[in-house]
Homo-oligomer: A and B are copies of this chain.
Amino acid sequence: MQIGKHITIKDVAQKAGVAISTVSRVFNGLDRVSPETRAKVELAVKELEYSPNSRAVSMITGHTKTIQMLVPDFVNDFYGSVIQGVEEVLRNNDYMLMVCSTGDSQEADLSAYIKRFFDVIDGVIAIPSNANIGNIQSLGKPVIFVDRAILGSGIAAVTADNAGGTYLLTKELIRAGHKKIAVISGDMQLNVGQQRLWGYRCALSDSGIAENADYIACGAMYEETGYRSFKRLMQLSNPPTGVVACNNLICIGCVRAAGELGLRIGKDISLVGFDDHVLASIPNPGITVVAGQTIEMGRRAANMILARIRHKDIKEAEVSMPVELIRRNSIRDLRASPAK
């Protein structure tokens, strides 16, 4: 309608014939206002289509109703799901979501990103890409990690049941008669990498299978890691018959490598993965995975940060979300027919 100036509280006050402070009081409703005055003001507000300028409000009140979210990138749809959950909750609570990608770089310092926009945010939700978080907790604003936690950082996190997930996955291979099982995991500085490897180890030792150092590959949680490690594993003189891929990207890398090597998944090689994704869900052959509720993880994180903003004294808590095994056709049953 009007391209020019925006309606201010002053305009409303003038139109309603009351003081500025009175208009403010009918909005924030702390103090009592007589019914007639309130009616006059509300009429003016409606006619003028007034809504308070949030910048001005935040100067006084100190809060901006904005949460900053830091993710490694936006292209991985796993991160996308988390953002989706966060944004949903925030929107319903009249908060805004500011996003920032930190990139893959191992040196990216999270606290630098936060400092940059420090004065316009009330809190931070981050998916850290490394353990380099600077003096994040001294910033004085609530921070929550999602998907990955940083051990000993004292920062609350919402994660998947990492160890439980790879345990299930590995057990599934063992149940089908596999003994030579490899794992491809990520950075050991992050809990995801550590815990997912740990679940694999537990499953092995529970079943009395000895670990083989050659079968353990660690890198970063990227497709490249999966691709390279898979090829290396297959070139071993005594290659594994089953592979546990510790995230969606690694799994995709494995599939790509298998394709190039002419290995049929579910027949020549068995593959299971952490996190569900399109490639795994299409029955060709369809890959057995454990899947967490990624959107729900985002929702939880958002609710946690909101709670911390409202009540400053909430202490750290780690939320671990259950994962579910989705059986598909990527495991060859070695009990039926002997290994090739």
A120 to B73, CA, bound (A): 24
Chain B residues positioned under 8 Å from A120 (CB to CB): 54-55, 96
CB-CB nearest in chain B for A258: B284
CB-CB nearest in chain B for A82: B74
Given A55-B55, A259-B282, CB of A88 within 8 Å of CB of B75 = no
Chain B residues positioned under 8 Å from A99 (CB to CB): 83, 87, 97-99
- A255/B284 in contact, CB under 8 A: yes
Q: From the candidates B1, B76, B260, B284, name the one contacting A77 in the complex (CB within 8 A).
A: B76
Q: Is A21 part of the contact surface with B, judged by Cβ < 8 Å?
A: no
Q: From the candidates B66, B84, B260, B278, name the one contacting A73 in the complex (CB within 8 A).
A: B84
Q: Is A40 part of the contact surface with B, judged by Cβ < 8 Å?
A: no
Chain B residues positioned under 8 Å from A74 (CB to CB): 74, 80-81, 83-84, 87
Q: Is A189 part of the contact surface with B, judged by Cβ < 8 Å?
A: no
Would you list 13 pairs from A and B whose C-beta atoms are within 8 A, ordered by A residue? Answer: A1-B138, A6-B118, A55-B58, A74-B83, A74-B84, A75-B84, A83-B99, A84-B101, A87-B101, A96-B100, A252-B278, A277-B278, A278-B279
Q: Which 7 pairs across A and B sit closest by C-beta, in order of nearness? A: A74-B80, A3-B140, A74-B83, A259-B283, A74-B84, A75-B80, A77-B77
Query: Which A residues are within 8 Å of any B CB, using their own CB?
Result: 1-4, 6, 51, 53-56, 58-59, 64, 66, 73-77, 79-81, 83-84, 87-88, 91, 96-101, 117-120, 135, 138, 140, 252, 255-256, 259-260, 277-279, 281-284
